[in-house]
Amino acid sequence: MIKVDFTLQRDIFDVRIKENFHVGITGIYGASGSGKTSLLQSIAGLATPEKGFVKIYDNIVFNSELDINIPVQKRNIGYVFQEGRLFPHMTIEKNLLYGIKRFGSKHLGFDQVVDLLNLRHLLQTKPAMVSGGERQRTALGRALLSAPKILLLDEPFSAVDVQLRSQILPFLLKIHRKVKIPILVVSHDLPDLLKLTDRLCLIQKGRCIGHADYHDLLRSDAALEMFGKNSIMNSITMKVKEIDTDRGITILSNNGEANSVRVKCEKSNQTYKVGEEMKIFISSDDIALSREKLKEVTIQNQLKGVIVETIDRGATTLCIVDVGFQLVVEITAESGKKMFVEPGNTVWCLFKSVAIDVAG
Ligand SMILES: Nc1ncnc2c1ncn2[C@@H]1O[C@H](COP(=O)(O)OP(=O)(O)OP(=O)(O)O)[C@@H](O)[C@H]1O
């Protein structure tokens, strides 16, 4: 676990954060200049807070009162910078081996990391000759091979385009499953973060304004404001039940037959196997509500549920519907009134299989 309680003076405001970060992925989300990098830098020892402490498991790596400030190279942290920062004169292999030289690999062996990150064919190549995504993967591999106690990733998707992003995300998920350490991922892209984790720490003007599961954060006005108008996304973990390659349909289930969700996604057919867990994403405004099940419609997903909560957002209303799992549905306030959308009422949530996105 990482425990921080510090104040770091910055140009316009001070960054004052008191939080604990546990094993697993935490998404550090906030606008540009809000203090996300300052948080990572304070943990890593790249910035020195004026006051407070930073503790990594049982080790106090910084304490202003006790005058402790362990240098960055002794904190045993894997830090991946936005642009990867590889040694340009070294091959990919030598860059990776540099990680082992520093601390020796503990969690994963060299071959395991190379295969996990799909780097074997590039080992003898120099960084300038590989793509942005491959450079990011190498930087990640190097950090992993240094047997870090924690992994700090600063905007790991920013230097790569959308296609490469979708390559890096599954690698991060694989790492997360294999290496049980706290992993902090900084990003200002909420959908990208949600593909990795539901646990978010929201940073605004140097303060943490929420640190919880995404679904719980939706109940906070400050968090909702930060998520913005268009980005309320349902992020649901389900299991692959059946893959129909001919029709290009993957059937996922969460709570048994009654609530099977149909997903039409070619990518998921290739990447996932029956029985595997899969994270799916549906935008809250891609879901419609009906008071009855519709017959003779092309919409493949009709899930019966009960409204558990409504959240007023001015022109729109967020409805949290329990369909066996919780779905956030955004409708206009006007439709809400017409439909008598109130807690306790039974509704059908309708969405097309093509409206669903998957991680990886
Ligand atoms: N070394 C520094 N000394 C003083 N102020 C700094 C320093 N580095 C950054 N700042 C300021 O501190 C604030 C927080 O910056 P920080 O880089 O932590 O934000 P961020 O959320 O990571 O931003 P971005 O998403 O753009 O990388 C900004 O106002 C920035 O200008």
pLDDT computed for residue 84 by the predictor? 67
pLDDT computed for residue 175 by the predictor? 81
Q: Which atom of ligand 1 is nearest to the CA of 188?
A: 25
Sheet strands side by side (includes 207-213) = 77-80, 150-154, 182-187, 24-29, 199-204, 207-213
33 CA to middle of ligand 1, Å?
5
Q: Report the pLDDT averaged over residues 134-160.
A: 85
Residue 101 has pLDDT above 60, yes or no: no
CA distance 64 to 202: 25
Residue 92's SS3 state is helix
The pTM of the full predicted model, rounded to 2 decimals, is 0.84
Top pLDDT among 256 and 119 is at 119
Domains 2-227 and 233-358 share a fold: no
CA distance 94 to 185: 26
CA distance 107 to 9: 36
Residue 262's SS3 state is strand
**H-state helical runs in 207-304:** 214-217, 221-227, 266-271
355 CA to middle of ligand 1, Å?
36
Q: How confident is the model at residue 19 (pLDDT cuts 50, 70, 90)?
A: very high
Pocket lining: 180 vs ligand 1, CB cutoff 6 Å: no
pLDDT tens, 219-258? 888 998 888 765 588 888 888 888 887 777 788 887 655 5
- Would you say 287 and 300 are in contact if contact means Cβ atoms under 8 Å apart? no
Top pLDDT among 122 and 336 is at 122
Q: How confident is the model at residue 265 (pLDDT cuts 50, 70, 90)?
A: low
Domain ranges of the chain: 2-227, 233-358
Q: Atom 25 in ligand 1: which residue has the minimum CA distance?
A: 32
15 CA to middle of ligand 1, Å?
9
ipTM of the complex, rounded to two decimals: 0.95
pLDDT tens, 275-311? 888 888 888 989 999 999 988 888 888 889 999 999 8
Q: How confident is the model at residue 264 (pLDDT cuts 50, 70, 90)?
A: low
Top pLDDT among 160 and 80 is at 80
CA distance 281 to 177: 20
pLDDT tens, 182-227? 999 998 888 888 888 989 999 999 999 999 998 889 888 899 888 8
- CATH 3.40.50.300 for domain 2-227, yes or no, is yes
CA distance 125 to 128: 8
- CATH 2.40.50.100 for domain 233-358, yes or no, is yes
**Which residue is it, tokens 């047997």?**
147
Q: Report the pLDDT averaged over residues 78-102.
A: 83
Top pLDDT among 146 and 1 is at 1
pLDDT computed for residue 271 by the predictor? 66
